Amino acid sequence: MRFLLFGAVAVAFTVGMTVIGLQFTTHEGEQVSRAAGPRLEIGDSFDLGDVPSTGVVERSVVFRNTGVEPLRVSIVKVRPAPDGTCGCGVEAFSVRPDTLQPGESGELVFMLRVPEGMPGMEDRMVAELETNDPARPTVKLTLVFRMES
């Protein structure tokens, strides 16, 4: 009987010390892990500068994958902004590359042209993106550029 009582006390003591030891364990020096999945890092408004009326120019917007899994990005639509006067200066668009590994950067590429009869005005567009970032599956960016005379 004494052995049984002694064994129960020993087990209780061991469990209690383990719990106390776990409460005082520190995690100094550990890095905070990044959020699971892909993560799109990009602003929400971009000035693409002046576009000469002599032809098509390429402008780009940089983005980054700050997550821990590959990020896929596509531009699904570019349309006039609600406060835009024209919305007709984007000839084409693409994403380079369309899939980024963790820590990599890519770019949204826009081919811009001054429409005939529209020099000297400012154009505002909205680019709509789709991503596999669970926190930002759709993203809307505002693009502004000025058409030179």
Which residues, in sequence order, are CB contacts of 131 under 8 Å at separation 6+?
A: 38, 40, 71, 72, 73, 74, 137, 138, 139
Give per-residue pLDDT as tens, 113-129.
877 766 677 888 999 99
Work out the pLDDT band at 32, boundaries 50, 70, 90: very low
CA count, 13 A, side-chain hemisphere, 143: 30
Q: Which amino acid is at 22?
A: L
Classify residue 12: in a domain, yes or no.
Answer: no
Dihedral angle at the C-alpha atoms of 80, 121, 50, 113, nearest 10 degrees? 60
Q: What is the CATH number of the domain that holds 133?
A: 2.60.40.10
Classify residue 90: in a domain, yes or no.
Answer: yes
Task: Find the domain containing 59 and state its range.
Answer: 40-147
Q: What pTM was estimated for this model as a whole?
A: 0.72
pLDDT at 141 over 80: yes
Number of domains in the chain: 1
Residue 125 main-chain phi, psi, to 5 deg: -125, 160
